[in-house]
């Protein structure tokens, strides 16, 4: 169940990227991040109400609120913010390539903090997945990146990218701690999303950016609809599935399978965006899928 949920998570994030790519260009990544958390928190509260009879798990133990809340802040606010800034400074090619190391970092963190021991076969599968993803990402973005950045800009971009890697990997590990004991995954998502939404909008209010953020989106109804659709598929369904994944299997295995999003994007690029897919990209896909098969078996 954990491995299947991780693969479905990768598919959800691939689909949601179609929505969020265009909207980020129209109103900015920070605006999209704030508004999508409102939509997603709404979806989660409704789902939690329908499934449990209450909008929030207010009776959850304090330690769950602590760890899941921290997971939301570290993964959904800090990790994503660092990642978006990395994209801006050094382009999608290098930024996405850095994110392919999330499984490695999450596996190391889970090994240190959660005492999760991976078998040799699982480690080999993770290595194959990361290698295949790297091949695809390098080829997928070849010739489409930004102009070569200055040395200081490049260094800042790499550091922000590494911050995004650590943020997303740490968010998974923190969520694993908060979900211990078969705690309902939808309740974990509710705590993460509501905490992240409250904090990011509190910061926007303090900085005087709450009003301008809402105005930019409400003035573009199509953009608002795209953010709504992306929020449903990605941050709601995708994150819910990711919580099931880290709860039901090792963090390293779950994060590796969830990192297959660039692979899933290949057919989307071929048939939706009408882009050519090279033999190198196909080779990377085969390597990554072989790694996924090793993990399953």
Q: What are phi and psi of 32, to 5 degrees?
A: -60, -45
> What's the whole-number mean pLDDT along residues 149-166?
84
Banded pLDDT at 273 (limits 50, 70, 90): low
- Confidence check: pLDDT of 255 > 50: yes
- Confidence check: pLDDT of 91 > 70: no
**Mean pLDDT over the full length of the chain:** 84
pLDDT at 61: 94
| CA distance linking residue 213 with residue 9, whole number of Å | 28
Q: Which of 25-34, 36-45, 264-273, 281-290 has the highest mean pLDDT?
A: 36-45
| Percentage of the chain lying above the pLDDT 70 cut | 91
Nearest to 213 by CA among 83, 223, 18: 223
Q: Is-contact 230 43, C-beta < 8 A? A: no
Q: Is-contact 200 81, C-beta < 8 A? A: no
- Confidence check: pLDDT of 2 > 90: no
DSSP state of 118: P
DSSP state of 249: S
pLDDT at 201: 97
> What's the whole-number mean pLDDT along residues 31-38?
91
pLDDT at 144: 47
- What lies within 8 Å, CB to CB, of 124 at 6+ separation is 291, 294
Nearest to 173 by CA among 234, 113, 257, 244: 113
Q: Which of 1-10, 17-26, 101-110 has the highest mean pLDDT?
A: 1-10
Banded pLDDT at 114 (limits 50, 70, 90): confident
pLDDT at 185: 87
> What's the whole-number mean pLDDT along residues 157-165?
87
pLDDT at 62: 95
pLDDT at 296: 65
pLDDT at 111: 85
| CA distance linking residue 45 with residue 37, whole number of Å | 12
| CA distance linking residue 227 with residue 243, whole number of Å | 22
pLDDT at 146: 46
- Confidence check: pLDDT of 294 > 70: yes
Banded pLDDT at 112 (limits 50, 70, 90): confident
pLDDT at 143: 44
The CA-atom distances, in angstroms, between 191 and each of 3, 36, 43, 60 are 23, 16, 13, 10
The model's pLDDT over 120-146, given as tens digits with 9 standing for 90+, comes to 888 888 888 888 877 876 664 544 444
């Amino acid at each position: 169940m954990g491995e299947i949920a991780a693969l479905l998570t990768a598919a959800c994030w691939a689909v949601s990227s179609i929505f969020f790519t265009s909207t980020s260009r129209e109103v900015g990544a920070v605006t999209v991040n704030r508004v999508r958390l409102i939509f997603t928190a709404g979806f989660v509260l409704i789902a939690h109400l329908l499934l449990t009879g209450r909008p929030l798990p207010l009776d959850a133990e304090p330690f769950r609120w602590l760890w899941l809340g921290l997971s939301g802040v570290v993964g959904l606010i800090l990790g994503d913010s660092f990642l978006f800034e990395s994209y801006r400074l050094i382009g999608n090619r290098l930024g996405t390539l850095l994110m392919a190391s999330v499984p490695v970092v999450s596996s190391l963190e889970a090994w240190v903090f959660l005492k999760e021991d991976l078998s040799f076969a699982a480690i080999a599968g993770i290595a194959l997945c990361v290698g295949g993803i790297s091949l695809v990402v390098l080829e997928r973005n070849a010739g489409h990146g930004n102009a070569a950045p200055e040395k200081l800009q490049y260094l800042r971009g790499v550091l922000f990218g590494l911050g995004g890697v650590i943020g997303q990997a740490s968010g998974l590990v923190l969520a694993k701690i908060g979900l211990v004991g078969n705690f309902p995954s939808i309740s974990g998502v509710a705590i993460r999303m509501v905490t992240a939404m409250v904090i990011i909008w509190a910061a926007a209010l303090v900085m005087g950016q709450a009003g301008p953020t809402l105005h930019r989106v409400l003035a573009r109804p199509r953009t608002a609809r795209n953010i709504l659709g992306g929020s449903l598929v990605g941050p709601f369904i995708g994150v819910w599935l990711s919580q099931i994944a880290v709860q039901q299997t090792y963090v390293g295995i779950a994060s590796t399978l969830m990192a297959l999003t660039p692979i899933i994007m290949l057919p989307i690029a071929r048939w939706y965006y009408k882009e050519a897919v090279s033999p190198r990209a196909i080779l990377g896909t085969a390597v990554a899928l072989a790694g996924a098969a090793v993990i399953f078996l």
